[in-house]
Structure 1
Amino acid sequence: MNILIIGGGGLIGQKLAHKLIDKGELRGQEITGMVLADIVDPALPDAPFPISAASCDIGEPEAVAGLIDKDIDVIYLLAAVVSGQAESDFDIGMRVNLHGTLNVLERCRALETTPVVVFTSSMAVFGGDVPDPIEDWTIPNPQTSYGTQKAIGELLVNDYSRKGFIDGRAFRLPTISVRPGKPNLAASSFMSSIFREPLNGQEAICPVDRDFAHFYLSPRRCVDNLICGAEIDGDAMGTSRTMMMPGRTWTIGQMIDAMTAVAGSEPARLIRFEDQPEIQAIVKGWKFDLNPAKALSLGLSADESFEENIRYYLEDDLPRA
């Protein structure tokens, strides 16, 4: 079993690689090789099998052709330009999120090996006039360039699977929190920074009010779900390979209360509320009442409480912050 993680230098890519190394097998087969690819060479964890790093711009078809060969059994397509950057720089969002996805799928088609492809999409495919609750079969209505690019990617994964070019599955990820590291250009970045920074003794700005509700999942549970998602039999997914990844909806206030329950009252005092209309214009278009029934029926799961999200950060990431 040879695995390729495209976006292997990112948070989820690195955590996924470590978890797969610990697990040692995928889809009932021993892992015998792994490649982590990103725009620059990713860090490589120790592994009991051959593991290598590759730099690859998926916007370049030739680079993708040099990355993916007939020996690859499972491809995790995690690489993306995040929401805020894709909105402010339309060209780079299209190049990576749309054309990059197509380049990967076209390479798989050319090889005629039908690899498993796990594509990470986003809840940003929903927005505007969408009924509540949102189901897996609700028609996407993205209100951002990022959401549009991800929705197109979902359709491509579904059609390439229907044609037998890949064995694909596309998961609409909740907002991942609490993320370690530094803030990025995602519109949702504050949904981690308002917890991460205070837990590290630093001030953080929250651009929405305490009643703002959103759909969340911890990095640890996301990785577990990506592994489970790769192991689902293609026939079990039916005629659509796209589904929501399970998460939980909480308000900012509920999440701050959860942090206080785990870490005491001091971190919450470091959060400063300050309106940022440009962020609100994006995130308030994201819908909140979501029913991830399909993924739940296939074995994926959500965190039980946001207190779990805080504990996972303290256990997995704070010691290295």
Structure 2
Amino acid sequence: MHVLIFGGGGFLGRRLAKTLIESGGLLQGKITHLSLMDTAFPEEMPQDSRLEAIKSDFSDEKEIREVLQLQPDVIFHLAAIVSGEAEKNFELGMKVNFHASLQLLELCRMLDYSPRIVFASSCAVFGGDVSKVIRDDTSPTPLSSYGTQKAMVELLMNDYSRKGFVDARCLRLPTIAIRPGKPNAATSSFVSSIIREPLYGKNASCPVPSETKVWIQSPNRVIQNFIHAANIDEQILGNDRIFNLPGLTVSIQEMLRSLEQISSPEVTNLISFEPDDFIQSIVLTWPPHFDTQRAINIGFVKDASSEEIIKSFINEEGISS
């Protein structure tokens, strides 16, 4: 089978590719061809004879049309302009997050088969009253351009699936923590930075109050959930292809307390609180409380605690705590 990952050069795309190579395939069969598409790829990429890295712009119709002619059985759509950048550059966010996604669906509609698509959406489709518990039937109320773009694509994925053009499943990702590497332009990037940087002996700043609660999931659980989504039988899903992924509600203060218990006060002393109006205008509208029973019932997984997430990151990075 042929698997295609849009956004394959990013952190999650590379980790997903590595996991798929190691597992050998999905329930549908063994992987014979694994295509990764992105605007750039790092030097350290998974090595495998089945893997092909294609440097291309997700919004380039010609490039997308050509790769679809290879008839991928499963498509992981992880390509996106992240939240902060999409808010500051409306045109770019619309071009990549919305119009390119619509273009992908239209090109898939022209195929003589219905590829399975796993779409990485976001909990940013919700906004407003942060005390409200988000349930499966809660309507999206995004208060950012990024969240609005994700919500529009979710609706299209549902409708194109209803029509039989594709077989999509949309996963609303919590904030991913802890990401390795450097901070990115996502407004939630600080959730990783305030743990990652101090563990490496570097200063970090938190732009939101310590009592702020966030909805998080570790990279390992996200990859598990991507693969599980790809393996779910179409008949189980029905017309609602959108899932709020199970996550962990935790305050910044609780995360830092866990970090101190695992490492030392010297580590957490490297963190300062420096309010950022732009980041707060977006992050503080994201609800941190979710009831995800439907996703849990169908087999999606969550992390046990912030301590588990931090310890996993330390072990993976080989950090001496």
Aligned equivalents of 2:317 and 2:222: distance in 1? 15
Separation in 1, partners of 2:65, 2:316: 35
The within-5 A match list for 1:192-207 is: 192-207=192-207
Question: Mind listing any 5+ residue stretches in structure 1 that lack a counterpart?
Answer: none
Equivalent residue number for residue 168 of structure 2: 168
Q: CA deviation at 1:171?
A: 0.3
Contact 2:179 2:219 in 1 (8 A): yes
* CA drift at 1:56: 1.9
Count of matched residue pairs: 318
Residue by residue over 1:11-63, the C-alpha shift from the partner in whole angstroms, topping out at 9 and shown as x without a partner, is 1001101111111120241111101110124654122x521110221222222
Is the contact made by 1:56 and 1:67 (CA closer than 8 Å) also made in structure 2? Answer: no
Instruction: For 1:142, give the aligned amino acid.
Output: P
Answer yes or no: is the 8 Å Cα contact 1:44–1:51 preserved in 2.
no
Residue 298 of structure 2: aligned partner: 298
| 2:250 counterpart SS class | strand
Query: Counterpart of 1:225 in structure 2: which amino acid?
Result: N
8 Å contact from structure 2 (residues 4, 36) kept in 1: yes
2:34 corresponds to: 34
What is the CA distance between 1:70 and its match in structure 2? Answer: 4.4
- For structure 2, which runs of at least 5 residues remain unmatched after alignment? none
Q: What SS does structure 1 have at the residue aligned with 2:110?
A: helix
Distance 1:118 1:291, change over 3 A: same
Distance in 1 separating the partners of 2:191 and 2:129: 24
Distance of 1:264 and 1:115 partners within structure 2: 49
Q: Which residue of 1 aligns with 2:180?
A: 180
Q: Measure the CA separation in 2 of the matches of 1:130 and 1:304.
A: 22
1:160 counterpart SS class: helix
Render the CA deviation track for 1:178-226: whole Å, top value 9, x for unaligned: 1011111111010100011001100000011211001000001110111
TM superposition score normalised by structure 2? 0.96
Partner of 1:66: 66
Q: Does 1:24 pair with 2:50?
A: no
Q: Distance in 2 between matches of 1:223 and 1:15?
A: 7
Query: Bigger CA drift: 60-69 or 171-180?
Result: 60-69
Report the CA distance between 1:273 and its aligned residue: 0.8
In structure 2, distance between residues paired with 1:316 and 1:108: 37
The two structures, once aligned, show a CA RMSD in angstroms of 1.4
Distance 2:254 2:143 in 1: 27
Superposed displacement of residue 128, structure 1: 2.2
Give the 5 Å matches for 1:33-112: 33-41=33-41, 44-47=45-48, 49-112=49-112
| Aligned-pair identity (%) | 44
Structure 2 distance, partners of 1:269, 1:98, is 41
Alignment TM-score, normalising by the size of structure 1: 0.96
Deviation at 1:68, TM superposition (A): 1.7
Change (3 A) 1:211 1:236: same
Amino acid at match of 1:144: S
Please list, as runs of the form range in 1=range in 2, the aligned pairs for 1:1-321 lying within 5 A after superposition: 1-41=1-41, 44-47=45-48, 49-128=49-128, 132-318=132-318
